[in-house]
Chains A and B, each alone.
Chain A
Amino acid sequence: MHADPRCVLTGTHFINGDAACCEGALAAGARYAAGYPITPSTEIVERFAARAPEVGGLFIQMEDEIASSIAIQGMVWGGQKAFTVTSGPGFSLMMEHIGLAAMTETPVVFVDVQRGGPSTGLPTLPSQGDMMQARFGSHGDYAIIALSPNSPQECFDLTVKAFNLAEEFRVPVMFMMDECVGHMTEKVVIPPAEQIEIYPRRHTKKPPEEFGLYEPGPDLVPEMAHAGEGYKVYVTGLTHDRRGYPSLNPAAQKELVFRLFEKIRRAADRLVMVEADELDGADVVVVSYGITSRVALRAVQMARAKGIKVGTLRLICVWPFPEKLIRELAGKVKALVMPELNMGQVVIELERCAAGQCKVISVPHAGGTVHDPAEILAAIERGAR
C-alpha cells in the first residue's frame, strides 16, 4: 500500500526537522495527534494543527502529556493512526502509557525531541539524554523500537518508517530526535505518494466469533480490530489471555511478556538500520547516532588525516540494538569510540555487546551543545594506541 497523495507534500523543501517530521507523519497516514506544548518539539504539532484539518484529521491540545499519551491510544482503537510529540520532561510523564501501549499492543508513535536534562534542564538546547528512558522508562518488561534521525530529510523518511514499524509489530515506536536535528533547516525531498510505502494496519479479516484480539500470528504479532466494528474488543493493561481477558496468573504473564519481547527480538536482525563507512581494516570505529554522528564525522576526518584507520557506524535504529554486528566488529578492531550527548547511555549496551573483545571508549557530554570534534579525536587517538 502507498501513501495517500492528498496527504503528501511532494516536492523539494527547505524546512527544519520538526516540520519534516510532521510531513512524515501525514505521509504515513497519521491524521490525528494529541500533545502538550514543550520546547523544542512544539513546531511539529503546530504545523500538524494547521495541516491536519485539510486532510480530515485534527490535533487536540490536551491538558497535559499524560492525557496526550493515552488520547492517541484511544485514537488508534477508534481506527486511526495517531502520534504524540514531546521533549524530555513530557516524555517522563508519558512513561506509564508507553507501557500501556506495549501491553495492549497499540501501534502508536511517540516523538521525543530531546533537550538537556535532568528535570527542566536546558529547554532550548540539545541532548540525547532520553535514550535509556525510551528503552526502559516504563515499569515492567517490554520491548519497543527506537529510531534516531540525523537530518531533516531523515526526520521525514524515518517518521514514515516509525509508523510502518508500529503497524507491522503492533508496538509503540519511539522517534528519538534531538533539538539540533529538530531545529536544523536543510533541503528535504518529499517523494510522490506512490513512492512512499505504507504498512497497512493488521486488521483482521475474521468474523468476530472467530477472532482473538491477542491471538499471535506466525510472527507472534496479533491482528487488530477497532471499536465500533462489532468485535467487542476487550483491551486491558492487565495481564491478559489471547481473548484479551484479564488472567492474573504466572503462566499467562509468562506467555504474554515473553511474546511481547520475542516478537521484536525475533525480528531484530531485520530491524537493524545502520550507516557504515570504512569498517574493513579499521583500527577504531566511531559509533554514534543522531546529531552526534555529524559532529563525529569531522573528528574522523581529522584522525584519517593523521593516518589513523577509522571507520564509522551510525545507529539509525538504536533499539533493538545491532547486537550481532557489534559483536563481530568488536572482534576485529582495537577500539569502539562512542560520543553521545549524555553521560554515557547507549555505550552501556555497546560495552555489553563488545564483551571485552576491544576497548570501548565513551565520550560523554552533559548536553547544551554538540561535542567539540577534538574531544572525539582524542578518544580515537587513545583507541588507536
Chain B
Amino acid sequence: MSTTDLHVHNPVEDLLRQDRIPTIWCPGCGIGTSVNSFAHALLKQNIDLNKTAIVSGIGCSGRVSGYMNLDSFHTTHGRAIPFATGLKLANPELNVIVYSGDGDLAAIGGNHLIHAARRNMDILVVCINNMIYAMTGGQAAATTPSSSVSTTTPYGSYEPELNLVQLVDAAGACFVARWTAYHVMQLERTLEKALKKKGFRFIEVLSPCPTYYQRKNNMGDALQAMLDYKKRSKIQHGCPTWETALTPGGPIIVGEFVDREREDYLTRMRRQLGPHYSEFPPQLEEHVSEGCSKEC
C-alpha cells in the first residue's frame, strides 16, 4: 500500500455487494442508514453470513436485499414474507430476514404480515416506513399520515394511518420495536437483540423521504426530518402498542415495545407431531451437472 492510499477499510464493506454501489437511494433517504445499522448488528452478533438470507419485495426498500452480500431474494410486490416463510421451512438452519418497505409489507402484503406474526414464523422483519410509495412516485400508503398530500391524495389523505407495531403485536409477534433513521445506535442494538431471538420479530424504522413525502408536505429537507425525529421522539420501552400511534405533529414513541416468548411455528409443529415426524435428509445430495451436457 502506498503512503498516499487513504482508503480505510470499512468493516461493513464486505457485507455489501460493492459492485452494486452506488445505491439508487436519494440523498437524505434513511434506508441506507438503516442498512448500516443492520450490517453492524450482523457483524457484532457474529452471525454465520453463509447461513443468512435476506428477502425483500418491491420498491426503494425492496432493493436492500440486492445490495447485501448475502443470499438475496428480490421477490414480488408485497410477497417477501410468504417467500421467506417457504425459505425458512425448507431450511430451518437459515437466518431469514425480510427487509422491505411499508407499502410492500403493510398494504399489498398486509395479510401476509398478520399471518406470519400469528404463526410465529421464525423470521426477522425490518420495515422501513417512509410513509409513502416512493419508487412509484409518491402515492399514498396505508401508513401515510392522515391529511398528508401525495400524488394520489392531492387534497390531503382522508384515511387514517395504520399503526404497524400495534398490528403485529395484536397478531402475536414475539418482538416488536420502532426506531427512526436518527436512532442509529439504538437501532443497531435492537437489531442485535432481534437477530438473537427466535420467532416472529418486527422492527419498524421511520425513514425520511425527502423527495416524495417531505417536499410535497412542506416538511423541509432530510436534515429537517432528522431534527423533527430528534425533537418528537420519546423513548418508551415496553409502551403498550395501542399508545404508539403516529399522529401528524404528535410524539413519535420509539423503543422496544414487545418482547415475549412464544413457541415458533416449526418448534410447535415438531412438538405436536412427535413420533409422526421422521426427519431424514433430503435426497438432493446427488447433485449432478451431467444434465447440462445432455443433447436436446
A54 touches B276 (CB 8 A): yes
Cα–Cα, bound, A55→B75 (Å):
29
Residue A97 contacts which of B70, B79, B291 (CB distance < 8 angstroms)? Answer: B79
Cα–Cα, bound, A145→B273 (Å):
36
Residue A246 contacts which of B66, B112, B287 (CB distance < 8 angstroms)? Answer: B66
A203 touches B287 (CB 8 A): yes
The segment from A63-71, A281-289, A336-344 found at the interface with B is A63-71
User: Contacts A70-B82, A235-B74, A237-B76 given: A60-B287 contact, CB under 8 Å?
Assistant: no
Q: Which of B257-296 contact A (CB under 8 A)?
A: 269, 273, 276-284, 286-289, 291-296
The segment from A153-161, A184-192, A218-226 found at the interface with B is A218-226
Chain B 47-68: CB-based contact to A (< 8 A → 1; otherwise 0): 0001101010000000000100
The segment from A9-17, A27-35, A372-380 found at the interface with B is A27-35
Chain B 148-168: CB-based contact to A (< 8 A → 1; otherwise 0): 000000000000000000000
CB distance from B264 to the nearest CB of A (A): 13
Which of chain A's residues have a CB closer than 8 A to the CB of B295?
219
The segment from B35-43, B87-95, B133-141, B204-212 found at the interface with A is B87-95
B289 touches A204 (CB 8 A): yes
A67 touches B79 (CB 8 A): yes
Cα–Cα, bound, A226→B85 (Å):
15
B20 at the interface (CB under 8 A from A): yes
Which of chain A's residues have a CB closer than 8 A to the CB of B55?
74
A276 at the interface (CB under 8 A from B): no
Q: Which of A143-174 contact B (CB under 8 A)?
A: 168
A67 touches B112 (CB 8 A): yes
Number of interface residues of B (CB under 8 A): 55
CB distance from A171 to the nearest CB of B (A): 13
Chain A 230-257: CB-based contact to B (< 8 A → 1; otherwise 0): 1111111110000001100000000000
A-B contact count (CB 8 A): 196
B66 touches A231 (CB 8 A): no
A228 at the interface (CB under 8 A from B): yes
Cα–Cα, bound, A232→B283 (Å):
23
Which of chain A's residues have a CB closer than 8 A to the CB of B276?
53-54
Cα–Cα, bound, A204→B277 (Å):
30
CB distance from B36 to the nearest CB of A (A): 19
Cα–Cα, bound, A77→B90 (Å):
8
B273 touches A53 (CB 8 A): yes
Which of chain A's residues have a CB closer than 8 A to the CB of B76?
70, 96-97, 100, 237
B86 at the interface (CB under 8 A from A): yes
A221 touches B292 (CB 8 A): yes
CB distance from A48 to the nearest CB of B (A): 14
Residue of chain A at shortest CB distance from B71 = A227
27 contacts between A and B (CB under 8 A): A1-B288, A53-B276, A54-B276, A54-B278, A62-B85, A71-B82, A73-B86, A76-B86, A78-B89, A79-B91, A80-B284, A81-B282, A168-B291, A199-B291, A202-B289, A204-B289, A219-B293, A219-B295, A226-B91, A227-B73, A228-B93, A228-B94, A229-B50, A231-B71, A235-B72, A236-B72, A270-B296
